[in-house]
Structure 1
Amino acid sequence: MNRDLSRRALLAAGAALATLPTSALAAPTKAALAPVDQALVDQAVAYLQGLSAAQGRFRQTDSRGTQTTGRLWLQRPGRARFAYDPPSGLVLVSDGRVVAQTNTRLKTTSRVPLAATPLALFLAKDIRLDRGVVITEVRRFGDGFSIVARDGRKQTPGQIELRFSDSPLALTGWTIIDNQSRATRVELIDLQRVGSLDGKLFVVPPPPKAATARP
């Protein structure tokens, strides 16, 4: 699998909670947020900061409407696992430095740095939405709100929308927009805080061995 495809898959999962080229939109900086919007951002940051370990399920819908489901485990800082239900065969694992995408059916593995994926936003030791991230919009809807952000350094062009419920305050999912305006939506299902998780969940497979030419 080539690097671009790997980054695209990692942005979509994000369930991590993978990076793909996306259109950079001109937008106001965080300083331009209205006080009521800033208050929601502060609530979201406090919630994410307190989410040390969690597990649940996710439903992913791509731009063509195709849905896949799976289980997820998150443990900050830096670790996450997304295991897609059969027949997908896809597993995404972050060990705090690298995010590996493994296709168990095709027996392939690709790797990208954690810092190059949206997972870094969720899994940082200190959640910061005022450093290296530009918040372009805070949206409200019936039972919650969302925060739209992009990489302020433009090293990872793209846009991510984080969605939260109001009561109780909880992360309910996110949407990634790619450079062709294609949206991948991830919905979190029954995300629950836990005390700790088995470290074996976050072991990244070794890179594939290079083929050895026969004499």
Structure 2
Amino acid sequence: MIKSLFSAAAAAVVVAAPVQAQSAQTDLQQVQRHLAGVTTMTAAFTQTDRAGKVLTGTMTLKRPGKIRFQYEKGVPILIVGDGKSLHFIDYSVRQVSRWPIGNSPLGVLLDPTKDISRFATVQPTANPEVLSVEVRDPKHPEFGRITLVFNKAASGPAGLVLQGWVALDAQNNRTTIRLNRQQFGAPVSDGTFRWNDPRRSGRQG
């Protein structure tokens, strides 16, 4: 009797493993279709850093490669991706940091040609309507990692709506972004992703 129970349990594990793998692959394919289907996206965001500091603002995304994080009034910071590079602009000290979009965890959101199945793993969640995917390149740990969180919703491209993400850089600095009021497909001007260089003008925007 005990032997038969163990045999049944072992058989269940053997059956469950391929089913779970197939389910994860299906989820990744859905995420890939969603990312490919997003041309533009706007949303309000709430950002929380590792120290617990909270900032809010508006995110505007236009693929390929363009994104803008416009922070709330009074915050002298701007983050802009112009299609090639991601810029972090600090107007309070007139400094600009720049790095290739592909070297940032945000690259997965901005590059429609990126095959995430090579770098992504589905993470378990307690809610079947929530899909969590961690993306990292094991060959380039210096790029950090990002865990994307989606809600399953018919209103979003491929039946998903991005709810936010957790980014972890190579120095283990964690940043959490939560999104709301998401809108997809609205016209967005390329001028949205222009910015004033504080090293020349000192102006913000």
TM-score calculated relative to the size of structure 1:
0.73
Q: Name the one with the larger helix percent.
A: 2
Is 1:138 paired with 2:123?
yes
2:144 and 2:177 mapped to 1: Cα distance?
16
Mapped to 1, the partners of 2:94 and 2:198 lie a distance apart of: 12
Supply the AA of the counterpart residue of 2:167: I
Cross-structure match for 1:153: 139
**Residue number in structure 2 paired with 1:193:** 184
AA at the equivalent of 1:195:
A
- Distance, in Å, in 2 between the alignment partners of 1:118 and 1:178 is 8
Matches within 5 A, 1:64-213: 64-131=51-118, 133=119, 135-142=120-127, 143-154=129-140, 156-168=142-154, 169-179=160-170, 181-203=172-194, 205=196, 208=199
Give the corresponding residue for 2:12.
Answer: none
CA, structure 1 residues 112+164, in 2 after alignment: closer, same or farther (shift >3 Å)?
same
How many Å separate the matches in 1 of 2:23 and 2:178?
25
CA contact (8 A) 1:49 1:127 kept: no
Number of residue pairs matched?
176
1:193 is displaced (CA, Å) by 0.9
Instruction: Give distance in 2, aligned partners of 1:207 and 1:151.
Output: 33
Q: Is the 8 A contact 2:28 2:122 kept in 1?
A: no
Amino acid at match of 1:138: Q
- Change over 3 Å in CA distance of 1:111–1:181 after alignment to 2: closer
> Which structure has the higher relative contact order (CA within 8 Å, separation 6+)?
1
Contact 1:58 1:186 in 2 (8 A): yes
Name stretches of at least 5 consecutive residues in structure 2 with no aligned partner.
1-19, 155-159, 201-205
Amino acid at match of 1:196: P
Note closer, same or farther for the CA distance 1:170–1:65 as it changes in structure 2 (3 Å cut). same
Q: Is the 8 A contact 1:99 1:204 kept in 2?
A: no
Larger Rg computed on CA atoms:
2
| CA deviation string 1:10-35 (max 9, x = no partner) | xxxxxxxxxxxxxxxxxxxxxxx711
* 8 Å CA contact 2:87, 2:99 repeated in 1: yes
Q: What root-mean-square deviation, in Å, do the aligned CA atoms of Structure 1 and Structure 2 show?
A: 2.3
Distance (whole Å) between structure 1 residues aligned to residue 143 and residue 190 of structure 2: 32
- Residue matched to 1:9: none
DSSP-derived class of the 1:81 partner = strand
